[in-house]
Amino acid sequence: MADRSPYALTSAAVAATAVLGGIGTATGTRWYGDLDKPPWRPPAAAFGPAWTALYALLAVAGGRALGAGERGRRGYLRAYGANLVLNAGWTWVFFRARRPALATAEAAVLAASTADLVRRTWVRDARAGAALLPYAAWTSFAAALTGSIARRNPR
């Protein structure tokens, strides 16, 4: 792995996450349209640009952190990969399985994973760690939003 660009690795991993998450997203379904959503939910048009920016930050910050040396790199890669799996998985639990309560739990785990990833990244490269702060804020917000939708739509 040492001869591969860490940015190529993180960019490919983040792109795969975005594609898999996008496939799992089904906002145009009747089920989603019928959900009672809180008034503080951002407009649907905000999600694409927000995620595009967050994914770019995630790829660049991850590349910087991986380029910071070999010490702790394997553990960092595991944490980074686990975070991406959780990231893509949320759409499948929420939209495809139609399980808002379970998606709330998954989103809470994602938010905790993201906080841990920020910490790990900061240790390797402080600027890269700071670049992930918006991602941590967004995943925490997403957990709260998912929880609100779950409470408003009990089954």
**What's the pLDDT score for residue 1?**
45
> 131-140, pLDDT tens digit by residue?
999 999 999 9
- Reply yes or no on whether the pLDDT at 155 is more than 90: no
Residue type, 49: P
Are the beta carbons of 111 and 142 closer than 8 angstroms? yes
Residue type, 81: G
CA distance 38 to 25: 19
User: CA of 134: how far to CAs of 24, 35, 91, 137, in Å?
Assistant: 23, 27, 20, 5
Q: What's the predicted TM-score (pTM) here?
A: 0.94
CATH number assigned to the domain with residue range 6-152, chosen from the 4 options 1.20.1260.100, 3.40.50.2300, 1.10.287.110, 1.10.10.10: 1.20.1260.100
Sign of CA dihedral 117, 134, 49, 45: positive
Domain coordinates of the chain in residue numbers? 6-152
